[in-house]
Amino acid sequence: MVRAKWLKEYFFPAQHKGLLYRLVAREIRQKFQGSWLGLGWALLTPIAMLAVYTFVFRTVLNAKWPGNSADSDAEFALQLFCGLIVFTLFSEVVGRAPSLISEQPNMVKKVIFPLSVLPWVSVGASAFFAGLSLLVLVAASLIVRGELTVHLVALPLIGLAFLPVLLGFGWLLSSLGVYLRDLGHIVGLILTPLMFLSPIFYPITALPAFVQDFMLLNPLAVIIDSTRAVVLQAEWPDFVALGIYQLVSIGIALLGAACFHKTRRGFADVL
């Protein structure tokens, strides 16, 4: 009964919804507070990054998107942008997680504060910006392809499968980061190669068959592939793969929540 109580606090923080809303809103405002363009940077930054990557891979390296008959800069850019949206969301949440608790010593020491909601805040703010980028992707797809399909209704299912992974890594790394201050540097070193080991610059089908099986161990592969299928290919995602991913992601979330719950008693002593 006690265990069910703390699990509910982690996974269904409805009692803190007002606090969550205010913290997420504050996080979004602070990111661009005082800047001239404001939230416009949330759209301009990924588009600028996309332009650089497209120029390098299409113009300099003369890369082509495998299996795409329409070999154009626009098609290549859309495929690339879709992968970058997922990776950016993941890297922002995971990259910040190790310092999430250690940056808030006052909340840990002096205030009775539900620390377990901090990963929710991080995920919520990053998801907001990812959502803006996704709107840009959908709009660009409409301009290039001239139509939107009913398959877009599957996007919430993909997000629902991805959410426990983000929360799980948020709880796990934020709790361990209190005790291991080098963890942030280690995570940063891992994220860079992960970008190139994920199907961002290429589809999974372009890899050898034996490599494709190992690619399923990548926490981003199924999500990127499913998002591309829904937004760019007018197809339904692989629901079997997505269902298996959902089960694994829930396991990751349970592991992260258990680690956070077990170690949180020592946060105040360490900080």
Q: How is 159-190 classified by DSSP, letter by letter?
A: HHHHHHHHHHHHHHHHHHHHH-TTHHHHHHHH
Higher model confidence: residue 18 or residue 113?
18
Q: Is residue 217 part of a domain?
A: yes
Query: Which two structure tokens, joined as six digits, stand for 182?
Result: 């080098």
Average pLDDT over residues 256-261: 94
Contact 41, 32 (CB under 8 A): yes
Q: Which long-range contacts (CB under 8 A, 24 or more apart) does 219-223 make?
A: 219/90, 219/165, 219/252, 220/86, 220/87, 220/90, 220/194, 222/161, 223/86, 223/158, 223/161, 223/162
| 68/66 Cα distance (integer angstroms) | 6
Amino acid at 136: V
Kindly give, in sequence order, each residue whose CB lies less than 8 Å from that of residue 206, ignoring residues fewer than 6 positions away: 66, 67
Q: Is residue 42 part of a domain?
A: yes
DSSP H helices in 2-117: 2-11, 17-31, 40-54, 73-96, 105-109
Q: Which of 26, 22, 190 has its CA nearest to residue 97?
A: 190
Residue-level pLDDT at 68: 64
Residue-level pLDDT at 247: 96
Residue-level pLDDT at 1: 39
Residue-level pLDDT at 50: 72
Q: Is the pLDDT of residue 37 over 70?
A: no
Most confidently predicted of 17-21, 60-64, 102-106, 109-113: 17-21
- At 96-139, the pLDDT tens digits run 999 999 888 877 776 678 889 999 999 999 999 999 889 888 98
Total domains present in the chain? 1
Q: Is residue 140 part of a domain?
A: yes
Confidence of residue 2 (pLDDT cuts 50, 70, 90): very low
Place of tokens 């199924």: 222
Query: Which two structure tokens, joined as six digits, stand for 146?
Result: 């001239």
Q: Is residue 247 part of a domain?
A: yes
Residue-level pLDDT at 140: 84
Range(s) of the domain holding residue 188:
2-265
Q: Is the pLDDT of residue 263 over 50?
A: yes
Confidence of residue 42 (pLDDT cuts 50, 70, 90): confident
Place of tokens 């190790």: 98
- At 143-159, the pLDDT tens digits run 877 878 899 999 999 99
For the chain, what is the mean pLDDT? 86
Average pLDDT over residues 204-218: 82
Q: Is the pLDDT of residue 213 over 70?
A: yes
Torsion of CA 83, 233, 221, 162, to 10 degrees: 80
Q: How far is CA 239 from the centre of its chain?
A: 20
Give the least confident one: 41-45, 178-182, 187-191.
41-45
Is the four-CA dihedral 130, 135, 140, 142 of positive or negative sign?
positive
Q: Is residue 271 part of a domain?
A: no
Q: Is residue 78 part of a domain?
A: yes
Q: Is the pLDDT of residue 77 over 90?
A: no
Q: Is residue 69 part of a domain?
A: yes
